[in-house]
Amino acid sequence: MTFPVFEPATIAGITLQNRIIRSATHESMADEAGAPTEALEKLYVKVAKGGAGAIITGYAGIQQDGKSSLLNMLMINRDELIPSYRKLTDTVHEHGVPVILQIAHCGRQTRSAVTGLPTVAPSPLKDFIFNEETPHALEENEIESIIDNVVAAAERAKKAGFDGIQLHLAHGYLLSQFLSGYTNRRKDRWGGSTENRFRIVSEIMNRIRKRQDNFPVLAKINAYDNRPGGMRVEEAIKISRLLESSGCDAIEVSSGVVEEGLSIMRGPEPPVKALFKSSFRFSTMPAMLKRLSAPFITFAMRSPKPYRAYNLEAANTIKRAVSIPVITVGGLHELTDIASALEGGSTDFISMSRPFIIEPDIVSKFSTGKQTRSRCIMCNYCALMIESGNVTCYYGKLPDR
């Protein structure tokens, strides 16, 4: 099987003009209520005009205690937000590009100081980074209400004109915390076996499918992380099969959790300067302490290798185990890598995040032959600096402000 990069293709009946998708990227461009702003609309128009096959939004929160500690997260927790999302989807659709809403609850990867509520998780385990408090272990009725809130969010997304939703099951956020044996230590029906840890997702899928038979539901998963007792490819295969049988339409394969440092978005140099400038943990640290701790932090934040196409092998293994489309993300920044991944049949689609930050029209540049690789240098300042402002490319340099 071979998949040409620049020919139309479908996911759950949604037509994409090519096989390159903009992966979910928190833009920090929502207003106080969590509604999309003009700035976000303009960004998506650039990405759509710039040739993307589809746009997956930055993560949108389903309830206040799951809100991101990063600035200005999109929220999809109230019906009043539907009209502003409808305006966004109508505008993007004018350019013939589908738009999918990523739905998330941050679980223990957020801060009470931002949400105003205790952090929650499957089990009361402190996060290495978000460790100001021990998260509250969710009770049965709280899990039920999270499931209902995800289902309500999916309904809002449909009413707002999104072409589908993507459940965020990756990167150590709440649903990923349930799936991983490292963060899920429960002994009840929500923990233990893979099936039990998957139960929250299967309940979400069943209830979405009961109410909205054909609405496309995608999932972003971790093929693996490096936590002791955490996710490994063999289990991710099992989870992918469970997703397929629960009615999921496509699986995007990623890896890593936030507390591992630079494993989700890899790169050669830990962005320590950006960390010191922006992070809630370090920005107020005295200069002397910053200097002293820099070597340790650089060591702790080092990224695994390789930096290119780093989830492709795992995605290929998952693709062999399911019959729904597989999307691969992570370091696919060069057209030769993208073409060989698709044409070799290792993945049905590829997605990118950082290349769209530096060049929203990167897909047109690829398809017209103007450029064969992204200009992204993987400095990852974009990922750190969203703690204090809109997403943008810093190209390894910090502003003086």
Binding site for ligand FMN (CB under 6 A): 23-26, 58-59, 102, 168, 170-171, 220, 254, 264-265, 329-331, 352-355, 382-383, 386, 391
* CB of residue 139 to ligand FMN, shortest distance in Å: 27
In the bound state with ligand FMN, the residue whose beta carbon lies nearer, of 137 and 377, is 377
- Residue in the structure block whose two tokens are 């999104």: 162
* CB of residue 266 to ligand FMN, shortest distance in Å: 7
CA distance 108 to 49: 37
* CB of residue 379 to ligand FMN, shortest distance in Å: 10
* CB of residue 22 to ligand FMN, shortest distance in Å: 9
Give yes or no for a contact between 56 and 24, defined as CB atoms under 8 angstroms apart.
yes
Instruction: Give Cα 378 to chain centroid, integer Å.
Output: 17
Measure the N-to-C terminal CA separation of the chain; round to a whole number of Å.
Answer: 52
* CB of residue 173 to ligand FMN, shortest distance in Å: 8
* CB of residue 310 to ligand FMN, shortest distance in Å: 8
In the bound state with ligand FMN, the residue whose beta carbon lies nearer, of 12 and 358, is 358
Give yes or no for a contact between 69 and 36, defined as CB atoms under 8 angstroms apart.
no
Distances from the Cα of 194 to the Cαs of 107, 185, 198, 235, 277, in angstroms?
19, 12, 6, 8, 40
In the bound state with ligand FMN, the residue whose beta carbon lies nearer, of 58 and 135, is 58
In the bound state with ligand FMN, the residue whose beta carbon lies nearer, of 156 and 171, is 171
Residue 154 is given by DSSP the state H
In the bound state with ligand FMN, the residue whose beta carbon lies nearer, of 206 and 226, is 226
* CB of residue 1 to ligand FMN, shortest distance in Å: 23
Give yes or no for a contact between 70 and 387, defined as CB atoms under 8 angstroms apart.
yes
For residue 376, give the nearest of 398, 357, 351, 349 by alpha carbon.
357
**259 HSE (CA, 13 A, CB side):** 20
In the bound state with ligand FMN, the residue whose beta carbon lies nearer, of 28 and 84, is 28
Residue 373 is given by DSSP the state B
Q: CA quadruple 106, 111, 114, 118: dihedral positive or negative? A: positive
In the bound state with ligand FMN, the residue whose beta carbon lies nearer, of 89 and 311, is 311
**253 HSE (CA, 13 A, CB side):** 32
Q: CA quadruple 282, 169, 197, 239: dihedral positive or negative? A: negative
Question: Is there a cis peptide before residue 306, judged by omega within 30 degrees of 0?
Answer: yes
* CB of residue 102 to ligand FMN, shortest distance in Å: 6
In the bound state with ligand FMN, the residue whose beta carbon lies nearer, of 153 and 264, is 264
In the bound state with ligand FMN, the residue whose beta carbon lies nearer, of 240 and 254, is 254
For residue 385, give the nearest of 291, 265, 300 by alpha carbon.
265
Largest CA distance in the chain: 59
* CB of residue 254 to ligand FMN, shortest distance in Å: 5
